Amino acid sequence: MPDSLTVPQETFAQKLADSGLRNTPQREVVYSVLLQKRDHPTADEVFARVKAELPTISLATVYNCLEALVQCKLVRAVNFEREPTRYCPNLRPHAHFHDDQTGSTHDIDLPPDLLERVQAILPPGYDAASVEISFRGSAVSSQN
């Protein structure tokens, strides 16, 4: 049972069920790990963190859990060039910034109208299930 769910506990199982998926201890722990440290971990990093709580979990299960969470839209999968897939539990509309220097990834909130504007460039007949806006560069910011 994840501690500080963005989504109420009830809804966690529900969201899975809506996609025909079951709730399992492994899926809960994987999700809670994503919520605890929102640094866009890779599957391997998630694996390492989850093992602290479930020492016998396998990497294949971590991949399965992540895929399940992506499928039921509790988590987004993020890809950058030639890098392993990273996972993000932020449900608000946002873009991603990948810092080439540090390898870290930051969420950039999208103004409410911008996503619509971007969607609007699609010609008729194009039906987008998902949109991803991603930047690569370096963040000189004081933020980390």
Binding site residues, a second copy, CB under 8 A = 77, 79-82, 85, 95, 97, 100, 106, 108-111, 114, 117-118, 121-143
The CA R_g of the chain, rounded to the nearest whole Å, is 16
What contacts 64, CB < 8 A, 6 or more positions away?
A: none
Task: Look at residues 88, 63, 66 and name the one whose alpha carbon lies nearest to residue 78.
Answer: 88
Interacting residues with DNA between 25 and 84 (CB under 7 A): 25-27, 42-44, 54, 56-61, 63-65, 67-68, 82, 84
* Residue 48 token pair: 């390492």
The least CB distance from residue 24 to a second copy, in Å, is 23
Helix (H, G, I), strand (E, B) or coil at 112: coil
List of residues contacting DNA (CB under 7 A):
20-27, 42-44, 54, 56-61, 63-65, 67-68, 82, 84-85
